[in-house]
Structure 1
Amino acid sequence: MKIEDGLAVLKLKIQEFELNPTLLWDEKEAILIDTGMPGQLEGIRDAMIGIGVPFEQLQAVILTHQDIDHIGSLPEIQQKADHSIEVYAHELDKPYIEGQAHLMKTDPSKMSKDQWEALPEVMQFLYKNPPNAKVNRTLEDGGRLSFFGGIEVIHTPGHTPGHISLYSEKYKTLIAGDAMVCVDGKLRGPVPHTTPDMETATESLRRFLEFDIDRVICYHGGVCDSNVKEQIKRLVEEDR
């Protein structure tokens, strides 16, 4: 779904769920923020073509964090690209993304027998064999990427230690990853059952008040563009 020329959400379906990676581009290059589940490369490619951006234009991937639904198709993207894809992530999540440590939330050794047996076979396979890829460049809080008018890195830990959100200065758009979700156009805080450190995650929301935000893209829920500043202030005040 194209939001503006140069900014789009690539809606990916997985069963009854919808994931919302973000694409930014110009006439020369494109960057993708998060990559869906394993096996969603074709959905990404088709969505890019649908908004007029050739897959061959993709130059970089930024990962908001290590969860499998965010890094899942990265190895396939790297394999299918006819050139090197630069991968950016926060240093604290880098060892998980690269496979040096098991993904925090899909580690079979940390699941009960009942939890494990309740998983479909395909998910058991993915949990045992999670995707991994090399991170070329690590990001830190306050860092600024020069892509498309400037993208500022906001470290928003809690959902994972190295969770980041991204602010596009050109589009006044916050790409929130899983720091927030959007439900029926309304912003909500991080989801408790997928957020190991809720106290830190809710405290991270305060960082967003520093930015001039017209819209928020949530990985779960998509675009929220109605009174977003007031909505974020309300979430922060509710946490007091």
Structure 2
Amino acid sequence: MKDANRVEFLELNINGFVIYPTLVWDSQSAILIDTGMPGHVEQLRKAMEKVGVSFEQLTAIIITHQDIDHMGGLPEILSNTRKELLVYAHELEKPYIEGTYPLIKTDLSRMTKEEIDALPEEMRKLYAHPPKAKVTHTLSNGQVLPFVGGIQVIETPGHTDGHVCLYLQQSKTLVAADAMYCVDGMLGGPHEPTALDIETARQSLTKLLDFEIDSVICYHGGICKENVSVQLKKLTKKTIKK
């Protein structure tokens, strides 16, 4: 008999900006998917402890892509644990997360003076000195990580080149990251203003139709459980241009 796992989406409210990292665990492993913003590690710790998991129980962290609200808390988590954690990300995202290249969407050199001046001082400082951390293992399409009943990697480029969704095989849960968003239980997306390549992002959604999905956790909007397969089919028909 398989060891049943638990899946929780953790609500982090950062000055009104609400995001939902995912925590999945069983008696052997605890995996955190995405880490929130820099400077809010204590809020994340408390959210995890509320469901009964501590930083010290973590086995691995999976970063779905390079955006600062997804990987920003990673360095602080690593510095607040006594054991060495496995850190996974797609190979295309690795050099950005490790600081070899600046994070694309917060790279000040890509912004106009007007855009930079419009940023709050705290954000300008953060963009000028973004977080970075070592990625120990890279991800590829179809790969299944041997944790909590199996975590399958689905390459879903468009939002960023190396964006991935994750399929939790035992619970039939899709961790969608930023491939989609959720509003009042309804799926939407991709989000055009934040996608590097919106057409590729739309095409990526069709890959999700190959999976039996009971629920979807979106980083922006939380969980969707109602008629997920029907919603996905409608969403792909709506967003994919024929």
Superposition TM-score tier, normalisation by shorter sequence: over 0.9
Q: Identify the range of structure 1 (27-36 vs 93-102) with the bigger mean alpha-carbon deviation.
A: 27-36
Q: Distance in 2 between matches of 1:72 and 1:93?
A: 14
Aligned 1:178-197 pairs, distance under 5 A: 178-197=178-197
Q: Distance in 2 between matches of 1:5 and 1:209?
A: 24
AA of the residue aligned to 2:198: M
Deviation at 1:55, TM superposition (A): 2.0
Q: Distance in 2 between matches of 1:125 and 1:183?
A: 32
String of CA shifts for 1:40-96, please: whole Å, max 9, x gaps: 211111111111112210111000000000001100000010100110000011100
Q: Distance in 2 between matches of 1:180 and 1:95?
A: 24
Secondary structure of 2:59's aligned partner: strand
Residues 182, 221 of structure 1: 8 Å contact kept: yes
Unaligned runs of 5+ in 1: none
Deviation at 1:39, TM superposition (A): 1.1
Residues 165, 174 of structure 2: 8 Å contact kept: yes
2:56 aligns with: 56
Deviation at 1:5, TM superposition (A): 5.7
Q: Distance in 2 between matches of 1:166 and 1:28?
A: 19
String of CA shifts for 1:200-219, please: whole Å, max 9, x gaps: 00000000000000000000
String of CA shifts for 1:92-140, please: whole Å, max 9, x gaps: 1110000000000000010011111110001001100010011000000
Q: Distance in 2 between matches of 1:32 and 1:9?
A: 10
String of CA shifts for 1:180-224, please: whole Å, max 9, x gaps: 000111100111111010000000000000000000000000001
- Indicate yes or no: 2:202 matched with 1:202: yes
2:44 aligns with: 44
Q: Distance in 2 between matches of 1:109 and 1:9?
A: 34
String of CA shifts for 1:125-158, please: whole Å, max 9, x gaps: 1100010011000000010111111111000000
Residues 29, 148 of structure 2: 8 Å contact kept: no
- Indicate yes or no: 2:21 matched with 1:24: no
Report how many aligned residue pairs link the two structures: 237
Residues 159, 198 of structure 1: 8 Å contact kept: yes
AA of the residue aligned to 2:215: R
Q: Distance in 1 between matches of 2:153 and 2:190?
A: 18
Q: Quick one: percent identity of the two aligned structures?
A: 55
Residues 178, 218 of structure 1: 8 Å contact kept: yes
Secondary structure of 1:147's aligned partner: coil
Q: Distance in 2 between matches of 1:150 and 1:28?
A: 12
1:216 aligns with: 216
2:225 aligns with: 225
Superposition RMSD in Å: 1.0
Secondary structure of 2:88's aligned partner: strand
Q: Distance in 1 between matches of 2:157 and 2:103?
A: 16
Q: Distance in 1 between matches of 2:44 and 2:59?
A: 14
Give the TM-score, by structure 1 length.
0.97
Give the TM-score, by structure 2 length.
0.96
Unaligned runs of 5+ in 2: none
Residues 75, 132 of structure 2: 8 Å contact kept: yes
Secondary structure of 1:149's aligned partner: coil
Residues 11, 19 of structure 2: 8 Å contact kept: yes
1:135 aligns with: 135
